[in-house]
A and B are shown apart, each in its own frame.
Chain A
Amino acid sequence: MEQRYVQQFKKGSLEMILLCLIGRGETYGYAILEELNRRSAVLGWAKEGTVYPILYRLQGAGLIQSRLAPSGANGGSKKYYSLTEKGRETLEELVQFWAAYSACVQGFVTAYREKEESQ
C-alpha cells in the first residue's frame, strides 16, 4: 500500500481522534498512547513524538486543558487532559463533518465497486 497516502489519512484525523479520546474523560499521556495502541493494527504504533505535538497544539488552540496531579513515589507528576467548552463545541462540529465526509467518500467507493462488478 502507498504509505504516503495512508500517512496523510492518519495525519488528518489524529487531532479529532485525540479530542474524542480526551472527550470520553480525563486522561494522561501514557494512557492516551495505550488507548491508541489498542488499534495499532490499523493506526500503527503511537509515539510520544507524534502525540505530544498535537496535545500542545490543541491546548494552544484552547480546545483542551490540563492539570497536574502528583504521582508515583519519586515526586513525579502526571498531567491530566480534558476538553474545554470550546473543545467540546469544536469536536461536535468536527464529528458532524466527519460523518458527512466519510459518507461522501464511501459514496465514491461504492459507485466504483458497482461499476467494477457490472463489467
Chain B
Amino acid sequence: MNEYIRQVERNLRLPRGKKREVLRDLREIFDSAREHGESEADVIDRLGPAAAYADTVSAPLGGKRRAGFVLPAAVLALAVALIAVFLAAQAGRPPENVIGQADAMTQIRVTGGVDLAPVFLTFGLLAAAVAAVLFALRIRRRKGDRE
C-alpha cells in the first residue's frame, strides 16, 4: 500500500496542497477497504496502475499532463539544423579568388562582415546539450514510474 501511494505521489503533477489531498484520500481508500474486510491487493487491483490513477485524478484538479518527448525532440532537431548549417558553410567555403558560390552562406558572410559559421556551431552544440538534458530527465522519470 505504501509503495503504491508513493508511486501515485511520484506521478502526480499537482501543486503541493492538492497532492497532499489526493494522497490523504488514497490512504482513506485503503483504510476504509480494510475496515470492510478487503485486502490491499483487492484495492490495488480496483485502482489500477499507480501512474494511470495519478493521471485520472490529476485532470479534474487542474494538473498538467506528464511531460512528453515533443520538446526535447524539437530542441534536438534545432541542434541538428544549426550544426548542418555550420557544416554546409564549411563545405561551401569557396577557395580564394573564386567567383560565384552565391549560396546562402556566402550571403550571410558578406552582409554580416563577420563569419557567422562559428555562431551556428556554438548554438547548435548548446541546443544539443539542452536536448540531451531534457531527454535524460524524462527518461529518468519514466524509469521511476516503472519501479
Question: A interface vs B, CB < 8 Å?
Answer: 28-30, 47-49, 52-54, 56-57, 60, 71-72, 74, 76-79
CB pairs A–B below 8 angstroms (24 shown): A28-B28, A28-B32, A29-B29, A30-B28, A30-B33, A30-B36, A47-B46, A48-B29, A48-B43, A48-B46, A49-B52, A49-B53, A52-B57, A53-B57, A53-B59, A56-B61, A60-B60, A60-B62, A71-B31, A72-B31, A76-B27, A76-B28, A77-B24, A79-B28
User: What residues of B have a CB within 8 angstroms of the CB of A53 in the complex?
Assistant: 56-57, 59-60
- A-B interface pairs (CB < 8 A), number: 54
User: What residues of A have a CB within 8 angstroms of the CB of B47 in the complex?
Assistant: 47-49
- Indicate the member of A56, A71, A74, A78 with the most B CB atoms within 10 Å: A56
Could you tell me if B60 and A54 are in contact, using CB atoms closer than 8 angstroms? yes
User: What residues of B have a CB within 8 angstroms of the CB of A74 in the complex?
Assistant: 31
> Of residues 73 to 107 in B, which have CB atoms within 8 Å of A's CB atoms?
none
Question: B interface vs A, CB < 8 Å?
Answer: 24-25, 27-29, 31-33, 35-36, 43, 46-48, 52-53, 56-57, 59-62
CA of A47 to CA of B27, assembled, Å: 15
Could you tell me if B62 and A30 are in contact, using CB atoms closer than 8 angstroms? no
User: What residues of A have a CB within 8 angstroms of the CB of B46 in the complex?
Assistant: 47-49
Could you tell me if B29 and A30 are in contact, using CB atoms closer than 8 angstroms? yes
